[in-house]
């Protein structure tokens, strides 16, 4: 490849001996002490400056998703910390690796579901129009035998407390947009189309909010992972203060039961 | 282990059917929309509410450390995204796994170096006292043949622009404490004790700031990783917009040179 | 959950103070020195003892997939080692995380494609029957606009040298089964159905072989990852002997070109 | 960096359109079907061809270390699989990330301890000489307050069954060397120098064997990780067949107890 000139394009960080710039601005003068971490994250993801309202909702979503107690990912991070306490990065990575389809993927799945439904038609102008649109999308989805993302929660069966708070905040800040409108319609039509009460869940609501404030669909999961990174650090900090991972390990090892594979 | 009652203690998230609480407060009412993501992260790590000044400095450190362009970790994350774009969590984890001794560990190493030096003596009350303390610690460290963390930068040889900004901010917010005082003294005595100009680096300064605002030493690296998670998301978002990882791969593969091991 | 008795079922390792058993046999007496690592891996994955022929083909596949030089995953592992040399596990994990859809997933994708095609009809009894079956499956796949896994290679355009070797070995050991028969038929009909010569690739062939020797479809990717773990260790060992990751980093960082996002 | 010619040196895999070579030999003709996976791994790590005896012991060590039932790393891998079943690579990586100081690091720690002790003196020629050397090294180590790696096991208090098997195999294959001689001496002098019976553990024995058969010290942990990759695949395969991770999650979440941090 002699003679070929390579360049690697980036709009993020570039340094010289005297300066560090980030997205074309001066890191020290324009960012440090001037913007919050949530806002910086929004800008790194989108290369756009959020309005104060968008920034507030972005922070609200990150806060809503940061921790949910002893999730499988939090337990995995703690077990990894137990085994390799000298590599905190390994414990954090181990926890983030559970950020896939079953738990942390709900925001992304809901966002994609809504975005696809909205891409097919002009936006409704009446609540009835939104209901009809949601009803059609949910019905099509259910016809394929798949779950409808954003509906249902294993614990908060009569309603996830994050949902009304996020929606009120979005209205208050005037960033309530078509994705939340569709999401609310999903909640209204769910009992009819699903034959039972299915509450809107917080993770799905976060997906709708993120789309309404301009986060690209491909980065919804990434945003959830950033939020969860803070929660996992909380679990690792707690594991340092009063460990429980050894107790989990002893419990599982102590209750192992050998099963002869031939007898299965 | 029959009959034994297990409990797993936590001060983080706990949910019931109706409520989600976090650190003993109501997630929806007390956190969402009320605290920024940086502040929430501080609280998850420390279980304490930061003062507004501490919160501002914590955000400032996260912002200062979020991205440095094409670092080895950013390139690794992009290559992993190239190979497995369906698992964004894997790309993020892959980047974070480089958060070890050589690059992202500087904040932690500097923090530990300062904390150990401070633990040995009463705090000085004069600049000369700080200089003497820093001089002694650096000399001892250099006598063991080890690098002194916090001093020197491969690029910013005449000064890292983040350092004066962070120190000014700490003074402005009145959170300038003994760790920064020691760190500044390191900068003053370095030319004498090292025989050449060695600028204070930004990563080391962040370690000193974090200790002065109450982040435990064991979580310094974790804080750096949280900051870097945002930067890595920025790189992944950029890789989605205009990819360069394939170009890196083609460059390395295309310039591979087979070396006969017997001839080494 | 008081009073509930938990047991965790396993057919793998169980220890007492005096013994270590694995899959119901004595680790020290029955496994150590008695079975090779490839065979043990086969047994851990399937809980069945392979025939000597199956074991030989399993080893052959692991050997065929272990290394391909400077792949994106190998480069990522080396960059992570550069950043955190004290955590070799992080470098290995970083490399394995690229084991997704684009590169290492080909064996799994091909295996699934073949298994689905075979599940729809009785197995053919003549070469023409196999060709017809392969033709139909490929045509259906292409009609959806998706790539046909197992066909094509960015480098080995006139044939991947691993394919004839693996097929000959499977015939020699009499483990050549329906998945390889289908795979060979794919190669025969590809020019006609695709309108151009598309060689069978080695990764796809490995997927067919693994199914023919009894590896469950859900573990095809896992088998590839095991193979690649050995190759990645080879890269890390080489990085220790003569490092190149710093050179990759310097090349990319040194050729970064800032792009104003507004100008994109 | 224009005009500079980059080459990336490697002795591993290099491909052309027609050939794939590995360590200077033809992958298809010289490796596939010709060498086992354990032997190939040895060669990738060392760039040397093992003697049949070295290859047998290398396989024996990999087999001895592959699985130990419900370890923290196995549980972490299963929990990650539960959360992200579509990314098997994430579950495997999550488990490997626990390959640090507390559990999987014992082989490396023991190997380093032995190698350092041997580097200080000429090798003894009598059992008494070995005992004296081991006694001195253990005494020095204990004087620093550190654990002596290779001694003690939380379960196999009267002896780890892998140890006599591996030693017998090394003698039988005539690869018993100075590292095992030192290791056996550690076992003889331990009761005297430690004041109580401390059995030699299997992980430490594996470290000694690996050094005696030519694995570089820097790759001991890597070898353990390769072994464990097979065991973790076994756990993931089992989790697919009959899951337990959901049960672990439910147990921990269901027994969470909120602790007011102010009350700690």
**Which two three-digit tokens encode residue D80?**
């990650």
Q: Does the beta-carbon distance from C253 to B80 stay under 8 Å?
A: no
Residue B5's pLDDT is 67
pLDDT digits (tens, 9 = 90+) for D193-223: 887 888 999 999 999 999 999 999 999 999 9
Q: What is the pTM of this model?
A: 0.96
Q: Cα–Cα distance between C203 and C199 in angstroms, integer? A: 12
Query: In CATH terms, is domain C51-253 a member of 2.30.30.90?
Result: no
Instruction: Report whether pLDDT(D2) > 80.
Output: no
Residue C195's pLDDT is 77
Q: Cα–Cα distance between C168 and C64 in angstroms, integer? A: 14
Residue D197's pLDDT is 82
pLDDT digits (tens, 9 = 90+) for A116-156: 999 988 899 999 999 999 999 999 999 999 989 999 888 88
Q: Cα–Cα distance between C165 and C154 in angstroms, integer? A: 20
Is residue B152 within 8 A of residue B191, CB to CB? The reply is no
What is the average pLDDT score of chain A?
Answer: 94
Q: Does the beta-carbon distance from B11 to D261 stay under 8 Å?
A: yes
Interface test with B, best of C93, C94, C237 (most B CBs within 10 A): C94
- CB count, 10 Å around CB of D215? 24
Where exactly are the structural domains of chain D? Answer: 51-247
- The closest of D181, D191, D193, D109 to D158, measured between CA atoms, is D191
From the list B2, B104, B249, which residue is nearest C5 (CB)? B2
Query: Which residue of chain C is at minimal alpha-carbon distance from D26?
Result: C161
Maximum C-alpha span of chain A: 70
Q: Cα–Cα distance between C199 and A129 in angstroms, integer? A: 52
Q: What is the DSSP string of A133-188?
A: HHHHHHHHHHHTT---TTB--SS-TT--THHHHHHHHHHHTT---HHHHHHHHHHH
Q: Cα–Cα distance between D77 and C73 in angstroms, integer? A: 20
Cα D97 → chain centroid:
13
**Which residues on chain A are in Cβ contact (under 8 Å) with B221?**
88-89
- Alpha-helical (H) ranges within chain B are 37-46, 52-65, 72-83, 88-96, 106-119, 127-143, 162-172, 178-194, 202-212, 220-241, 245-254
What is the phi-psi region of residue B19: left when phi exceeds 0, alpha when psi lies from -120 to 50, beta otherwise? beta
Residue D1's pLDDT is 41
Q: Does the beta-carbon distance from B24 to D260 stay under 8 Å?
A: yes
**Which two three-digit tokens encode residue C228?**
């690649």
CATH superfamily for A51-248 is Cytochrome P450-Terp, domain 2 (1.10.230.10)
Q: How confident is the model at residue A264 (pLDDT cuts 50, 70, 90)?
A: low
Q: Does the beta-carbon distance from D83 to A69 stay under 8 Å?
A: no
Contacting subunits of C (3+ beta carbon pairs below 8 A)? A, B, D
pLDDT by residue, tens only, chain C of 264 residues: 444 568 999 999 888 888 999 999 999 999 999 999 999 999 999 999 999 999 999 999 999 999 999 999 999 999 999 999 999 999 999 999 999 888 888 999 999 999 999 998 889 999 999 999 999 999 999 999 998 999 988 888 888 999 999 999 999 999 999 999 999 999 999 999 887 888 999 999 999 999 999 999 999 999 999 999 999 999 999 999 999 999 999 999 999 999 998 775
The hierarchical CATH code for the domain B51-249 is 1.10.230.10
Query: Which residue of chain B is at minimal alpha-carbon distance from D97?
Result: B97
- The closest of B13, B260, D4 to A162, measured between CA atoms, is B13
> D90: part of which helix (H) or strand (E)?
helix D88-96
Q: How confident is the model at residue B233 (pLDDT cuts 50, 70, 90)?
A: very high
Instruction: Report whether pLDDT(A86) > 70.
Output: yes
Q: Does the beta-carbon distance from D73 to A79 stay under 8 Å?
A: yes
- CB count, 10 Å around CB of B225? 27
- The closest of B197, B172, B179 to B187, measured between CA atoms, is B197
DSSP 8-state assignment for residue A30: I
Q: Cα–Cα distance between A62 and A94 in angstroms, integer? A: 20
**Which residues on chain C are in Cβ contact (under 8 Å) with A90?**
87, 89-90, 93
Q: How confident is the model at residue A4 (pLDDT cuts 50, 70, 90)?
A: low
Tokens 């040196």 belong to which residue?
Answer: D9
Tokens 């009819």 belong to which residue?
Answer: A192
Q: Does the beta-carbon distance from A40 to B63 stay under 8 Å?
A: yes
Total residue length of chain A: 264
Query: Which residue of chain D is at minimal alpha-carbon distance from A76?
Result: D76
Q: Is the dihedral of CA A210, A214, A219, A225 positive or negative?
A: negative
pLDDT digits (tens, 9 = 90+) for B6-45: 899 999 988 888 899 999 999 999 999 999 999 999 999 9
Cα D77 → chain centroid:
18
Which chain D residues have any C-beta within 8 angstroms of a chain A C-beta?
Answer: 2, 5-6, 69-73, 75-76, 79-80, 82-87, 90-91, 93-94, 97-105, 241-242, 244-245, 248-249, 251-253, 256, 259, 264
What is the average pLDDT score of chain D?
Answer: 94
From the list A9, A257, A264, which residue is nearest C8 (CB)? A257
Is residue C92 within 8 A of residue D222, CB to CB? The reply is yes
Residue A5's pLDDT is 67
Q: How confident is the model at residue D72 (pLDDT cuts 50, 70, 90)?
A: very high
From the list B8, B256, B260, which residue is nearest D255 (CB)? B8
Query: String of b and e for B113-135 (b: at least 16 CB within 10 Å)?
Result: bbbebbeeeeebeeeeebbebbb
Residue C1's pLDDT is 41
Q: Cα–Cα distance between A208 and A107 in angstroms, integer? A: 8
Q: Cα–Cα distance between D41 and C230 in angstroms, integer? A: 5
Mean pLDDT of B106-113: 96
Interface test with A, best of C77, C252, C256, C264 (most A CBs within 10 A): C256
**Which two three-digit tokens encode residue C264?**
């994109």
| Distance (Å) from the alpha carbon of A146 to chain C's nearest alpha carbon | 20
From the list C7, C86, C258, which residue is nearest A10 (CB)? C258
- The closest of D229, D218, D230, D175 to D53, measured between CA atoms, is D175
Q: What is the DSSP string of A75-136?
A: HHHHHHHHH-TT-HHHHHHHHHTT-STTTTTHHHHHHHHHHHHHHTSPPPSSHHHHHHHHHH
**Which residues on chain B are in Cβ contact (under 8 Å) with C100?**
83-87, 90
Is residue B132 within 8 A of residue C112, CB to CB? The reply is no
- Cβ contacts of A251 within 8 Å, gap of 6 or more: B1, B6, C6, D251
- The closest of A238, A256, A235, A243 to A73, measured between CA atoms, is A235
pLDDT digits (tens, 9 = 90+) for D172-186: 999 999 999 999 999
Mean pLDDT of B77-98: 97
Residue A121's pLDDT is 85
Strand order in the sheet with C25-26: C13-15, C20-22, C25-26
Task: Tell me whether 0.90 is exceeded by the ipTM.
Answer: yes
Q: Cα–Cα distance between C187 and C131 in angstroms, integer? A: 9
DSSP 8-state assignment for residue A262: G
Phi/psi at B204 (5° precision): -65, -40
Q: Does the beta-carbon distance from D93 to C97 stay under 8 Å?
A: yes
> Class for domain D51-247, per CATH?
mainly alpha
Q: Does the beta-carbon distance from A97 to B104 stay under 8 Å?
A: no
Residue C3's pLDDT is 43
**Which residues on chain B are in Cβ contact (under 8 Å) with D76?**
none
Is residue A6 within 8 A of residue A25, CB to CB? The reply is no
- The closest of B245, B3, B207 to B106, measured between CA atoms, is B207
**Which residues on chain D are in Cβ contact (under 8 Å) with B8?**
252, 255-257
Query: Which residue of chain C is at minimal alpha-carbon distance from A253?
Result: C8
Q: What is the DSSP string of C216-248?
A: -GGGHHHHHHHHHHHHHHHHHHHHHHS--HHHH
> A256: part of which helix (H) or strand (E)?
strand A256-258
Is residue B80 within 8 A of residue C94, CB to CB? The reply is yes
pLDDT digits (tens, 9 = 90+) for A38-73: 999 999 999 999 999 999 999 999 999 999 999 999
From the list D89, D231, D242, which residue is nearest C99 (CB)? D89
Is residue A142 within 8 A of residue A180, CB to CB? The reply is no
From the list A10, A86, A255, which residue is nearest C7 (CB)? A255
Mean pLDDT of D1-10: 71
Mean pLDDT of D78-100: 96
Mean pLDDT of B144-166: 91
Instruction: Report whether pLDDT(B153) > 80.
Output: yes
- Cβ contacts of A128 within 8 Å, gap of 6 or more: none
Query: String of b and e for A221-259 (b: at least 16 CB within 10 Å)?
Result: bbbbbbbbbbbbbbbbbbbeeeebbebbbebbbebbeeb
């Amino acid at each position: 490849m002699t003679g070929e000139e390579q360049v690697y394009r980036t709009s993020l960080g570039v340094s010289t001996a005297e300066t560090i710039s980030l997205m074309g601005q001066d890191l020290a003068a324009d960012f440090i002490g001037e913007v919050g971490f949530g806002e910086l994250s929004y800008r790194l993801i989108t290369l756009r400056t959020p309005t104060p309202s968008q920034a507030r909702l972005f922070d609200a979503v990150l806060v809503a998703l940061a921790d949910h107690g002893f999730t499988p990912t939090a337990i995995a991070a703690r077990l990894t910390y137990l085994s390799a306490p000298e590599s905190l990065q390994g414990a954090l990575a181990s926890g983030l690796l559970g950020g896939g389809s079953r738990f942390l993927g709900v925001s992304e799945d809901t966002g994609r579901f809504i975005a696809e439904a909205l891409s097919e038609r002009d936006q409704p102008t009446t609540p009835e129009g939104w209901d009809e649109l949601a009803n059609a999308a949910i019905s099509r989805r259910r016809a394929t035998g798949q779950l409808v993302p954003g509906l249902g929660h294993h614990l908060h069966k009569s309603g996830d407390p994050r949902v009304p708070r996020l929606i009120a905040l979005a209205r208050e800040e005037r960033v309530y947009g078509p994705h939340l409108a569709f999401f609310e319609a999903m909640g209204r039509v769910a009992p009819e189309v699903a034959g039972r009460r299915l509450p809107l869940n917080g993770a799905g609501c976060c997906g709708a909010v993120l789309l309404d404030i301009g986060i690209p669909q491909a980065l919804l999961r990434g945003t959830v992972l950033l939020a969860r990174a803070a929660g996992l650090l909380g679990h690792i900090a707690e594991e340092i203060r009063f460990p429980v991972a050894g107790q989990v390990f002893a419990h599982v090892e102590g209750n192992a039961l050998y099963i002869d594979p031939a007898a299965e």
